[in-house]
Amino acid sequence: MLKAIRAPKLVRRTVRKLIPMWATDILAQTEDGTAKLPVAFERGLFQGDSLSPLLFCLSVAPLSWEMRKRKGFKSIHGPHPITHLMFVDDLKLYEESREELEESIRKAEEVSELVGMRLGLKKCAVAHATAGRVVGGGPAKLDSGAVIAKIAGEETYRYLGIPQLLLPDSEKAREKVKKEYLGRVRATWATNLNGRDKARMHNTWAVAVLRYYLERLSGDR
C-alpha cells in the first residue's frame, strides 16, 4: 500500500524494518516471583504503536476507494450521492435499494478480504428505511453464506461507539455524546503519555466524537 501511494523509499524501508520489532511482554506473578513471557505480533497491527492508526487507515483505503464507485444515495441537500461514511474501522454504506445495498456489502466483503481483513459481522446490521423511518425488509445475505441481521422498530445501531437511530432524539443523542466524549477525555489524560502526545490523542480520538455529531446535528440547534 505504501508503494501504491508512492511513499518515499526511506519511509517504506523504515516501516518494513519496524513491523517485525513489534512485541510485548506478558507478566505473571508466581511463587518464585514475576515471570515474563515475550510475545511477538506476527499479523495485524500493534495497537498502542503511534504508527499503527496511520498504517491501518492506509490499509483500508482501497475499501473507501471502491465504495466511492458505487451508486449511493442521492440526498436532497447536495448534488453528490452519499455512498459511505468511514472513520478508521467504522463503516456505513448507503444505497437507494435493497439490491444495491446488498451488492455494496458484497463488494465491501470482497475488498476487505483482498487487503487481509474480514468484516465483523456480529457488529454489522442492515436498515431499510423510507422517509426516515425503518420499514420492512429482511437481513442481507452474503456470498459466503453469512447473514447480516436487520434493524427493526426502535432498535439502534452504533457508529463511533454511540447508539443511533435514523431520526435520533436530539437530547438523548447529545447526552450520549457528552458521556462518551468525557469518558474518552478522562481515559486520554489518565495515560502515561507526555503532554504533547496526550493533546494529540485528545484531538484525534476524543474530539472525533464531537466533530461527527456537531456536523450531523447542526440543523437541530
Instruction: Please give the Cα distance from 6 to 177 (Å, whole number).
Output: 38
What pLDDT is stored for residue 155 in this prediction? Answer: 65
pLDDT digits (tens, 9 = 90+) for 172-195: 667 878 888 999 999 999 998 899
What pLDDT is stored for residue 188 in this prediction? Answer: 93
pLDDT digits (tens, 9 = 90+) for 109-167: 888 888 888 888 777 888 877 766 666 667 787 777 788 887 765 566 666 666 665 55
Amino acid code (one letter) for 32: D
The alpha-carbon radius of gyration of the chain (Å, integer) is: 21
Are 93 and 84 in contact by the 8 Å Cβ rule? The answer is yes
Give me the DSSP letters along 44-81. S--TT-TTHHHHHHHHHHHHHHHHTTS--B--TT-SSP
The pLDDT confidence band at residue 70, using thresholds 50, 70 and 90, is very high
What pLDDT is stored for residue 184 in this prediction? Answer: 92
What pLDDT is stored for residue 221 in this prediction? Answer: 45
Crossing angle of helices 52-67 and 98-114, in 10° steps, is 140
Higher pLDDT, 81 or 75: 81
Pairing of strands 157-159, 147-148: unpaired
pLDDT digits (tens, 9 = 90+) for 11-69: 889 988 888 888 888 888 888 888 888 888 877 777 777 788 888 888 888 899 999 99
The winner for highest mean pLDDT among 45-49, 96-100, 136-140, 217-221 is: 96-100
What pLDDT is stored for residue 182 in this prediction? Answer: 93
Are 141 and 124 in contact by the 8 Å Cβ rule? The answer is no
What pLDDT is stored for residue 220 in this prediction? Answer: 46
Contacts of 36 (CB under 8 A, 6+ apart): 25, 26, 27
Residue whose entry in the numeric block shows the C-alpha cell 448507503: 94
What pLDDT is stored for residue 154 in this prediction? Answer: 59
